[in-house]
């Protein structure tokens, strides 16, 4: 029996049909990449497998927001924005990495570790996850804890990294732009 | 074997060399930094860029083929997976109450040691 409730769920942001088809295409491209076979048999097997896999997995990839009023699809992000964000993040990674290596290779360690606590609220729960992951990926800052209502506790290694965290137009603004939503940001406390 | 052009080879070596510099930097940081949290920065994060540059160099060396595409996929998984590992380590240490090293603590420790030395002298 096929349960079609998910297609008529009004609390999902965006269209379930678009989500399902985009996910099927994504899985099919991945299949083609890994198999490297272009015989018709494998192409058809791949298509059937990706349709079934996306149909089975789709309900698992819907996450509710903090109020529980809406459900967001995990991969429901504009792919062009994702590519732009990826390259921007790579550039930030290189800059921050050079800073950290300079600070650690000096004769006297040029570090000043501190814990920055800030609050970041965005409706889409993916925003919370992407921000936490991007902060951890950037050298000089590691997310130590995130609560569901958006309180971040971040360990910053150098003064420059800590200043970068306190700037709302930096990474928090870029994540909000990626998801196309408004956000609230305020620094709660800095522990030296 | 496919033919590897000179330009391709040079770009690949430059990328892998840069990756090596970042990996060495992360190893130095691992040895020199004072406490657990700052070592997570060195081990988890600087390593990500080093690994990614080396993978990119391998992909360039391989040329435009499905093997390169697979290398890029591995690179993306490292990109997604590495910060999660660092985060879990830092989170567990923080929740179990591991103290965070700061400059204030270093000064206090120095003063304490100086006092202890004075006492021994007396």
pLDDT tens digits, residue range A73-83? 888 888 899 99
What confidence score (pLDDT) does residue A123 get? 86
pLDDT tens sequence across B62-80: 888 888 888 888 888 888 8
- Taking CB atoms and an 8 Å cutoff, what residues of chain A touch B37? 113, 142, 144, 155
Find residue A143's DSSP bridge partners.
Answer: A154
Question: Do the Cβ atoms of A112 and B46 come within 8 Å?
Answer: no
Complete edge-to-edge strand list for the sheet that includes strand A184-191: A141-146, A151-156, A114-121, A184-191
pLDDT at B1 over 60: no
* Distance in angstroms (rounded) separating the CA atoms of residues A139 and A115: 15
How sure is the predictor about A2, in pLDDT bands with cuts at 50, 70 and 90?
A: low
Q: Can you read off the two tokens belonging to residue A54?
A: 């996306």
Q: Give A130 to chain B, closest Cα distance, Å.
A: 10
Total count of residues recorded for chain B: 122
For the segment A42-80, what is each residue's pLDDT rounded down to a tens digit?
A: 899 999 999 999 998 888 888 888 887 888 888 888 889
CB distance from B41 to chain A under 8 Å? yes
Contact flag A157-B41 (C-beta cutoff 8 Å): yes
- CA-derived radius of gyration, chain B: 22
Record: contact B38-A113, CB cut-off 8 A: yes
Give the E-state strand segments of chain A in sequence order: 62-64, 71-73, 114-121, 141-146, 151-156, 184-191
Q: Do B83 and A131 touch, CB atoms closer than 8 A?
A: no
Q: Tell me the ipTM for this assembly.
A: 0.82
Q: What is the DSSP secondary structure assignment for residue A171, as one 8-state letter?
A: H
Residue of A nearest to B31 (CA): A104
Instruction: Please tell me which residue, B120 or A153, carries the higher pLDDT value.
Output: A153
Quote the pTM value.
0.85
Residue of B nearest to A99 (CA): B46
CA dist., res. B46 & res. A109, Å (int): 16
Rounded to a whole number, what is the distance in Å from the CA of B9 to chain A's nearest CA? 23
d(CA A69, CA A73): 14
Q: Which long-range contacts (CB under 8 A, 24 or more apart) does A65-71 make?
A: A65/A123, A65/A124, A65/A125, A66/A123, A66/A125, A66/A148, A66/A149, A66/A150, A69/A11, A70/A11, A70/A12, A70/A13, A70/A123, A71/A9, A71/A11, A71/A12, A71/A13
Q: Is A142 within 8 Å of B40 when comparing Cβ atoms? A: yes
Q: What is the pLDDT of residues A71-121, one digit of tens each?
A: 888 888 888 999 999 999 989 888 888 888 888 888 888 888 888 899 988
Contact A143 B90 (CB under 8 A): yes
Q: Tell me which residue range forms the domain holding B33.
A: 3-121
pLDDT at A1: 47
How much is the pLDDT for A3? 64
Residue A88's pLDDT is: 92
The predicted pLDDT at position A81 comes to 92
Cα–Cα dist A43/A99, whole Å: 48
Mean per-residue pLDDT for A169-191? Answer: 85
Q: How many domains does chain B fold into?
A: 1
Measured between beta carbons, which residues in chain B are less than 8 angstroms from residue A93? 48-49
- Burial label for A145, CB within 10 Å (0-12, 13-18, 19+), is middle
CA dihedral for B53, A93, B77, A143, sign (positive or negative): positive
Contact at CB, B80 and A105, closer than 8 angstroms: no
Say if A98 is an interface residue toward chain B (CB within 8 Å). no
Residue B121 CB contacts under 8 Å (≥ 6 apart), including other chains: none
Average pLDDT of the residues in B42-47: 80
pLDDT for the residue numbered B2: 58
Give the closest-approach CA distance of B107 to chain A in angstroms.
12
Residues 119-158 of A with CB under 8 A from B: 132-134, 136-145, 153, 155, 157
Mean pLDDT computed over every residue of chain A: 86
Classify burial at A97, counting beta carbons within 10 Å of its beta carbon; exposed 0-12, middle 13-18, buried 19 or more: buried
Query: Per-residue pLDDT averaged across A21-44, rounded?
Result: 89
B19/A contact by beta carbon, under 8 A? no
């Amino acid at each position: 029996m096929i349960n079609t409730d998910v297609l008529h769920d009004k609390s999902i942001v965006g269209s379930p049909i678009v989500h399902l088809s985009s996910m099927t295409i994504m899985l099919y491209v991945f299949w083609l990449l890994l198999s490297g076979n272009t015989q018709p048999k494998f192409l058809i097997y791949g298509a059937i497998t990706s349709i079934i896999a996306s149909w089975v997995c789709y309900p698992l990839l819907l996450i509710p927001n903090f109020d529980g009023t809406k459900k967001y699809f995990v991969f429901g992000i504009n792919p062009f924005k994702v590519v732009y964000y990826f390259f921007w993040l790579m550039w930030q990674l290189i800059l921050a990495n050079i800073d950290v290596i300079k600070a650690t290779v000096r004769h006297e360690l040029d570090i000043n570790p501190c814990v920055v606590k800030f609050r970041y609220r965005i409706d889409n729960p993916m925003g919370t996850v992407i921000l936490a992951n991007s902060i951890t990926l950037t050298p000089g800052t590691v997310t130590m804890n995130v609560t569901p209502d958006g309180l971040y506790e971040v360990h910053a290694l150098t003064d420059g990294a800590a200043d970068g965290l306190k700037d709302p137009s930096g990474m928090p603004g870029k994540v909000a732009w990626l998801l196309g939503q408004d956000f609230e940001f305020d620094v709660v406390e800095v522990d030296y | 074997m496919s033919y590897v052009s000179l330009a391709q080879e040079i770009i690949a070596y430059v990328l892998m060399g840069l990756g090596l510099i970042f990996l060495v930097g992360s190893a130095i940081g691992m040895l020199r930094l004072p406490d657990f949290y700052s070592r997570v920065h060195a081990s988890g994060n600087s390593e990500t860029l080093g690994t990614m540059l080396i993978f990119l160099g391998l992909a360039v060396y391989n040329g435009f083929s499905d093997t390169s595409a697979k290398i890029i996929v591995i690179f993306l998984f490292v990109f997604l997976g590495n910060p999660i590992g660092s985060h879990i380590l830092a989170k567990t240490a923080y929740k179990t109450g591991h103290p965070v090293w700061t400059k204030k603590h270093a000064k206090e420790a120095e003063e304490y040691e100086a006092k202890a030395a004075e006492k021994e002298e007396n």
